[in-house]
Structure formats: structure tokens, C-alpha cells
Amino acid sequence: MLFKVTKRRKRFSFLKEIFEWLFAVVFAFIIALFIVSNIGSLTQVKEQSMEPTFLENDRVIINKIGYILGKPKRGDVVILSKVNTEKGLFVNMRNEFNDIKDNISYRFTGVIKKNNLIKRVIGIPGDELDIRDGAVYINGKLEEGYTFKGETFEESNLKFPLEVPENKVFVLGDNREYSLDSRSIGFIDYNQIKGKAFFRFFPFSRVGLIK
């Protein structure tokens, strides 16, 4: 009888230990997901629209907490979603989980899901923008310094000149001739911005802060 009780206690202790271990793993995963969805995370550039600032397959660190305390500034390089404008803690965690799932899928299938874009903020609320003669003008002044060779075409559903509305930004790729940006998808709502790209950690020959 005593042997059976001892055996039952050992089994209960073993199951309890397994449960505690699983709980710790799940809890750690939730905490990690919270951190990468609301503070910072890593991403890989999967497009050519930001050349020469970013080349395809560059790896960068995203600062997500900066825009909780402030707003995007002109010249910021941002990671944004072109399809989702929802906001909230659990929405962020869900989106980050989907990003992780897509990255794992990419490793095994080689199929890239381009739900996110990396672009540069050109216009902030209140700015007057105009695109003419292959150049961008902000509040009447020529905008230059970021663009790759070539012209900035005006082809857009938007009518220029225009004023950037409140709580929105106007974004362009540095490689203006080959970029899906605000000329095609319109103004970007603050809620669509996932964070600011601020440091490139790969390739090692191009490591450094992003300007």
C-alpha cells in the first residue's frame, strides 16, 4: 500500500514538473512576443525600392517604442503595413506572430510574403507636397539627398500639389523609379507604421546607424 502511494506521489510530482516547465516556456514566449511586437525587432529587407540606402537582404533593427513617445519625422525610414490599420497591444502581438510565421515559411518554401514595406517619410502633417519635372518639392523647397539616380514620376491617384492630412505621412522609396509608395497606395496612417529602422547589423561591411 505504501509503495502504491509513493509511486502515485512520484507520478504526480513528475506531471507537475512537466506542467511547470511547459508553463514557463509558454510564458517566456508570450513575454518575448510582447517585447518584439512593442519595443523592438529584427527584419530583413526584401525589396529594391530603397536602394542605395538599403540593398536586398540587408538586416535591420526596428525601434518600435520611439513612436509611442513621439511622431514620425521627415526623413525617418519606417517599416509599415500596407494592409492593416488596426491598433492595440493584442493586434501588435498577432501581427508579430504572423510575421514570425511568414519568416519560418520563407525559410522552408522560399516564398516571400510582402505585407510590409520599408520607406522614407517625405511629408508630415501640414506639409505641402508637389511632384513636378521629376522632382519633389516640400513646402516650396526642392527635396533632395535621398534619391537614387533617376526621376520621381508623378504617376499617382493623388492630385498634386497636396497637403498631408493630420495623423498621416507621405512616404517614398529612395529608388523612386522602382518603388511602391504613397504615389500608389496613398497617405500612410500612423497606425500602419510598425517602427523606425535605425540600425543595420548585416552585412558586416555595411553595419551602422541608418540615416
CB 121 within 8 A of CB 196: no
Q: What architecture is the 42-209 domain classified under in CATH?
A: Ribbon (2.10)
Pairing state between β 59-63 and 40-44: antiparallel
Mean pLDDT of 98-124: 64
Q: Which residue among the candidates 64, 119, 194, 196 is catalytic per the annotation?
A: 119
- Mean pLDDT, the chain, rounded, equals 76
CB 180 within 8 A of CB 117: yes
CA distance 153 to 182: 12
> Number of C-alpha atoms within 13 angstroms, CB side, residue 16?
6
> Considering only 74-78, 138-142, 206-210, which range has the smallest mean pLDDT?
206-210
pTM of the model: 0.67
CB 94 within 8 A of CB 208: no
| Whether the predicted pLDDT of 60 surpasses 60 | yes
Give residue-wise pLDDT tens across range 9-40. Answer: 666 677 778 888 888 888 777 766 565 555 66
Give residue-wise pLDDT tens across range 157-190. Answer: 678 889 999 999 999 988 888 888 888 888 999 9
Q: Which residue among the candidates 37, 41, 49, 179 is catalytic per the annotation?
A: 49
| Whether the predicted pLDDT of 111 surpasses 50 | no
| Whether the predicted pLDDT of 57 surpasses 80 | yes
Q: Is residue 112 very low, low, confident or very high in pLDDT (cuts 50, 70, 90)?
A: very low
- Whether 179 is a known active-site residue: answer no
Q: In the sheet that 128-132 helps form, which strands lie side by side, from edge to edge?
A: 141-143, 135-138, 128-132, 162-163
E strand or H helix that includes residue 141: strand 141-143
- Whether 49 is a known active-site residue: answer yes
The confidence score (pLDDT) of residue 6 equals 61
